[in-house]
Structure 1
Amino acid sequence: MKEIKTAIIPIKTDFVGLKSIIDHKAICIFAATGFFLDDDSYFVGQKALRPATNYTLSDDNNSIVKEETYFKWHYTPIERPFDQIVDEFTSLFETIIDEQVKDKNVILPLSGGLDSRTQAAALKHLNKKVHAYSYEFENGHNETKYAEQIAKVCDFPFEKWIIPKGYLWKNIEEIASINQCYTEFTHPRQAAIMEKLVGLGEVINLGHWGDVLFDNMDLPSQLSLEDQVDIMIKKVIKKRGIELAEKLWKSWDLEGDFYTYFRKRIKKLLQEVSISEDANAQTRAFKSLYWASRWTGSNLSLFEKVKPITLPYYDERMCQFICSVPEKYLAKRQIQIAYLKKRNPELAKITWQDQRPFNLYNYHWNLFPWNFPYRVYQKIRKDYIVKNKVSNNYENQFLGNENEKELKKWLFENQKFKVFVDPSIVEELYKGFKNENHLSYSHVISTLLTLSLFTKISE
């Protein structure tokens, strides 16, 4: 027998069982949402090990002998002053980062948001050796502007890279072998710069999931289960995801209908989370259980291919801390904002990308009429100055003659894919992508591409 303990938020999903019969129902949910739900995989006989669980496995890893949950997300708020909560976060966050990176040279991806900025403040305070970087699309918007300012304040060496148009095709089979086609290929831009990271340091410090843990879901505290199911479905469904899932469901002649099956699955999982005290805590727990490990975690494998990775927000102690914080203090990123103001005021003065042109001291003014001049400027800039700039991942991968050639090769020339997915579905959705709103069809085209690669790596 083998014993395995999975993390509360796993960095990597482990699987047990045999790759035999295709699980068409699970793939339909993947088509609708972009990730596999709960313990689903591509195969009926293979199951993902759930988070926060102790497992006893057979010696050949073909079956689960015993499974027992050791941590259940909860909402047990302890009332105390906000300043005390910020002090607790400060001590915990910096302790975790110090333990995770030790004396290693740190590679730090930076953005204009709060999670990586909070990491930068902690790493600077702890006097760690850091090499920061950021990237933006070829012919894209200047996404590295604020990241570079953050690195300058912290005196970190900084690299700025351009994600070239069509980078995906050169490495698509390698990417498929790394993430095993458990996420779409247009999302992980880090795949374009993996080789560049090798010489920057010894460990990559990532800020994933901070935005989920340190914000509320903007929901009323009390919601019926049915209302929560409706909201969760809206949160996880991608553009035209239901349409693709229903087409696949019918083409595979599955019993019943997709939406009824999907809703029943979501409702059952929400019932199992069972945090009746607050719908925000319930939603955060659901996302941490089923979204973090099966979507976010799948792309972490691309970083791990380059260097060891550390994730302070994934730490078990951070999850336990979140369960003790009243929702009123988690709302609107208050804790991270207060931490940054306290630990490094200069970082707090840099524009918060989501609240442009405001920073952490004045973002409250991002309301009409105070933000009106900037909104007018942005409208003029978008329509006349930076018109046709790349804004979305799919534009870099699917648009243009060379991209179209590669995309069509995988969608229409892969014989195994033709057997797996009805070619008429692919033809219809690709026609919609070409003739209608590109963005509206980008998810389903990316999913079909992923499924085509799946047939390749599962040969």
Structure 2
Amino acid sequence: MKISTPIIPSKQIFANVANKENAYNLEAICVFVATGFFMGADTYWKNKVCLLPAHDHELDAQGRLLKSTPNFNWYYQPEQKPFKDTLSNYIELLTTITKNQVKDNPVILPLSGGLDSRSQALVLKNFKNEVQAFSYAFQGGYPEHHIAKKIAKECRFSFKQFDITPGYLWQVIDDLLSINGGYSEFTHPRQMAVLPELKKMTGVFSLGHWGDVLFDRGVPEATQKGDVVPLLLKKMVKPRGLILAEKLWSNWGLKGDFKTYLIDRITTDLNAININNISAKVRAYKTSQWAHRWTTTNLSVFEAANPMTLPYYDNRMCEFVCKTPESYLADRRLQIAHINQDKALANITWQAQKPFSVANYAYNKTPYNIPYRIVNKLQRTIKNVQGKPYIQRNWELQFLGDSNAEKLESYLFDNNFNTWIPKDVVKSTYNTFLKEDPINTAHAVSMLLTLAVWYKKNNT
């Protein structure tokens, strides 16, 4: 049997490997704890792999992997065209791919305050398909759906708004494990909070995932070759996740030290990409690693509701990026120029540059942004004084407060789980979260929760 995987797979496919022991892949689990995703083909098990992207895989009659051969290698061969011609090519390609994917189906469009979904909205605005747009915001946080609602109104899409509420995770945590297999921590896919509502919608999702990576710099301008691995390490690893991974590495008696192991993994995979341009090389690395093992994992929640389409995942889009000069990809130039062709959409707030829009974000600097920064800080201070903290992250709704703590602790301090992850390791991490550094330790706590739920499912 042969399975061919695309450049960016929209789902993960797993296979067993012959002649390997059925045991935990502890090194891989440490990487997962530090970064939030498994690297390469790694899984929880030594005798199980996730089929690599852009490969042809041969499996035997029992579904065991025999051989994997690349069917695509990332490259950088920029075509020297004027920017306006490249922009026209990009718009035409995005339009063609979107039309090919959605066909005549009704479209379900998640809208944010960013560029990717707004680019899709601009394309879909000119189609005859019925479009149901929606957005969500954290209860007590920035009302992101206000921006999305304006975009939907301008494009004449129907619109629904959802609030992500405190404590929803505990009602859906077992379902989430069944959907994503425990291959991503549980507080990121906030769409899980509204999954029943998404299932009521009719049509196909049009999802803008990974557009922000493909259409931006791979690394900051002037990055040198020797800076790349440290930069990737900083991007991939959460500081408290690293500390937790090092504790587990030591507790499990693994050879060497964890950080050296991880740096060697990054270096080996990066060197396998035969591209001289540093920015293009890092973009290819990011796409082949965490697009596949992190972003795609959480797409499974959307897929549990309705079929998915992903224009930026399309092979043709990846090929286009390989042929586009870095100067055109940098700083979201193509996407911004595309959106600026529609003045109404361009004048709606860009969330990452608020209160400025796609049309005037260049003014998001001193002194022009000082009035907004003062008012925003004042509003947040008043909320905190009133006992209504400003919510920016899903874990704040799911982990903070007595009720959440009771649920969380029931998983973290389960006696069965603590035979695998020692109670003192869990307690040290959790106490740091509660008493010292909740923002930077939330990732480590969330990883412990993910491991606890996964362990319970696989050991009962």
Q: TM-score range by the shorter chain?
A: over 0.9
The residue that corresponds to 1:369 in the other structure is 367
Q: Does 1:52 align with 2:35?
A: no
The residue that corresponds to 1:267 in the other structure is 267
Whole-Å Cα distance in 1 between the matches of residues 202 and 356 of structure 2? 33
SS of equivalent residue, structure 1 residue 39: coil
- 1:81-160 alignment, distance < 5 Å: 81-160=82-161
SS of equivalent residue, structure 1 residue 217: coil
Whole-Å Cα distance in 2 between the matches of residues 159 and 82 of structure 1? 37
Q: Does 1:395 align with 2:412?
A: no
Contact 1:215 1:332 in 2 (8 A): yes
The residue that corresponds to 1:23 in the other structure is 25
Q: Residue type matched to 1:15 in 2?
A: F
CA deviation map 1:238-275 (0-9, x unaligned): 13111011000001011111011111111000000131
Q: Residue type matched to 2:351 in 1?
A: Q
- CA shift at 1:341, angstroms? 1.9
- CA shift at 1:221, angstroms? 5.6
The residue that corresponds to 2:9 in the other structure is 10
User: TM-score by structure 1 length?
Assistant: 0.96
Whole-Å Cα distance in 2 between the matches of residues 133 and 229 of structure 1? 38
Q: Residue type matched to 1:448 in 2?
A: L
The residue that corresponds to 1:191 in the other structure is 192
The residue that corresponds to 1:421 in the other structure is 421
CA deviation map 1:81-133 (0-9, x unaligned): 11101100111000111010111111110010000000111111123210000
Q: Alignment partner for residue 347 of structure 2, among 349, 366, 369?
A: 349
The residue that corresponds to 2:358 in the other structure is 360
**Where does structure 1 differ by over 6 angstroms across 4 or more consecutive aligned residues?**
none
Whole-Å Cα distance in 2 between the matches of residues 341 and 356 of structure 1? 17
Q: How many pairs does the alignment contain?
A: 453
- CA shift at 1:218, angstroms? 4.2
Gaps of 5+ in 1: none
Whole-Å Cα distance in 1 between the matches of residues 86 and 24 of structure 2? 48
Deviates more, 1:151-160 or 1:432-441: 432-441
- 1:146-185 alignment, distance < 5 Å: 146-185=147-186
- 1:57-68 alignment, distance < 5 Å: 57-62=59-64, 64-68=65-69
Q: Does 1:315 align with 2:314?
A: yes
Gaps of 5+ in 2: none
The residue that corresponds to 2:430 in the other structure is 430
Whole-Å Cα distance in 2 between the matches of residues 141 and 366 of structure 1? 18
Contact 2:238 2:440 in 1 (8 A): no
- CA shift at 1:376, angstroms? 1.7
- CA shift at 1:222, angstroms? 6.2
- CA shift at 1:356, angstroms? 1.2
Whole-Å Cα distance in 2 between the matches of residues 269 and 189 of structure 1? 31
- Percent identity between the two aligned chains: 43
Whole-Å Cα distance in 2 between the matches of residues 265 and 284 of structure 1? 17
Q: Does 1:280 align with 2:282?
A: no
Contact 1:150 1:347 in 2 (8 A): yes
Q: Residue type matched to 1:215 in 2?
A: D
Contact 1:55 1:67 in 2 (8 A): yes
Q: Residue type matched to 2:442 in 1?
A: S
CA deviation map 1:46-77 (0-9, x unaligned): 11111000111111112x22211011111111
Whole-Å Cα distance in 2 between the matches of residues 390 and 286 of structure 1? 32
Contact 1:177 1:457 in 2 (8 A): no
- CA shift at 1:385, angstroms? 4.7
Q: Residue type matched to 1:7 in 2?
A: P
Whole-Å Cα distance in 2 between the matches of residues 13 and 299 of structure 1? 10
- 1:247-258 alignment, distance < 5 Å: 247-258=247-258
Contact 2:219 2:278 in 1 (8 A): no
Whole-Å Cα distance in 1 between the matches of residues 29 and 458 of structure 2? 14
Contact 2:241 2:441 in 1 (8 A): no
Contact 1:186 1:446 in 2 (8 A): yes
- CA shift at 1:371, angstroms? 1.5
Contact 2:185 2:447 in 1 (8 A): yes
The residue that corresponds to 2:295 in the other structure is 296
Whole-Å Cα distance in 2 between the matches of residues 31 and 61 of structure 1? 29
- CA shift at 1:389, angstroms? 2.0
Q: Residue type matched to 1:153 in 2?
A: E
Q: Residue type matched to 1:376 in 2?
A: I
The residue that corresponds to 1:379 in the other structure is 377
Contact 1:220 1:279 in 2 (8 A): no
Q: Residue type matched to 1:396 in 2?
A: L
Whole-Å Cα distance in 1 between the matches of residues 382 and 407 of structure 2? 31
Contact 1:239 1:443 in 2 (8 A): no
CA deviation map 1:12-46 (0-9, x unaligned): 11111168210000000001100001111001111
